[in-house]
Amino acid sequence: MTAGKARGRFIAFEGGEGAGKSTQARLLAEALQARGLDIVITREPGGTAGAEALRALLLDPAYDWGPKSEALLFAAARSDHVEHLIEPALAAGKWVICDRFVDSSRAYQGGAGGIGDADVLTLHRIGSGGLLPDLTILIELHAGEAALRARARDGDAADRIGGKHADYHSAVRDRFALLADQSPDRFARIAGTGSAQDVHARIMAALTPLLDAP
């Protein structure tokens, strides 16, 4: 720990495919940098060399991972990411903005994949000491618009998980909403409709308590 430096804040972006998380993570990073904060922007699965190698395996349609192997691999990737990038950055007083974190495993593997929340949280405790973001920004978009946007972005080249059936993605969306309902203090639910700047303005408003905190 850097002497005298307050721990940084950890903000995660979550949502289904095509919700606009990556764009919003970038816009937020720019806005916070402009306020003089030291920002690290990263993503999951990935963020470190080891986790990016696991990402390539996880998203490659050549492999037929089931929800249990997915949960283990995502937890392993996250463990490396937390140990080598996220925790050191927070300890050095930086703000970490992460495109997806453990709530993705809870929604995709735990919810849509059916392995259950308790097992995902156990893996997270083993792998990453149960670390949770200070704020999780859930960008919500209804199914039709999300599918259109994902298709405009990916065409026929959706990755192994993005390319799953519409029912799977609808279960993901429902589980995210449930998780946010269960932990209203940790989640900010943001409507993903309108322009990127509209959504960004909603996110900045949701961040006010964190920015004003000592």
> If binding is defined by CB under 6 A, does position 104 make contact with ligand TYD?
yes
Q: Select from 17, 146, 171, 173 the one that contacts ligand TYD (CB under 6 A).
A: 17
CB 55 within 8 A of CB 46: yes
User: Burial, 90: exposed, middle or buried (Cβ in 10 Å; 0-12, 13-18, 19+)?
Assistant: buried
Minimum CB distance to ligand TYD smaller for 7 or for 149? 149
Query: Count of CB atoms within 10 A of residue 129's CB?
Result: 11
> If binding is defined by CB under 6 A, does position 65 make contact with ligand TYD?
no
> If binding is defined by CB under 6 A, does position 95 make contact with ligand TYD?
no
List binders of ligand TYD among 162-201 (CB under 6 A): 162
Q: Select from 81, 94, 100, 202 the one that contacts ligand TYD (CB under 6 A).
A: 100
Q: Select from 95, 108, 176, 187 the one that contacts ligand TYD (CB under 6 A).
A: 108
Q: Select from 12, 28, 42, 74 the one that contacts ligand TYD (CB under 6 A).
A: 74
Residue 54 CB, nearest distance to ligand TYD (Å)? 10
CB 95 within 8 A of CB 30: no
Residues 97, 76: Cα–Cα separation, whole Å: 20
> If binding is defined by CB under 6 A, does position 10 make contact with ligand TYD?
no
CB 40 within 8 A of CB 89: yes
> If binding is defined by CB under 6 A, does position 45 make contact with ligand TYD?
yes
With CB under 6 A as the contact rule, which of the stretches 31-39, 100-108, 128-136, 137-145 interacts with ligand TYD? 100-108
- Whether cis (ω within 30° of 0) applies to the bond prior to 133 is no
Residues 160, 76: Cα–Cα separation, whole Å: 18
Residue found under tokens 């192994």: 160
> If binding is defined by CB under 6 A, does position 161 make contact with ligand TYD?
yes
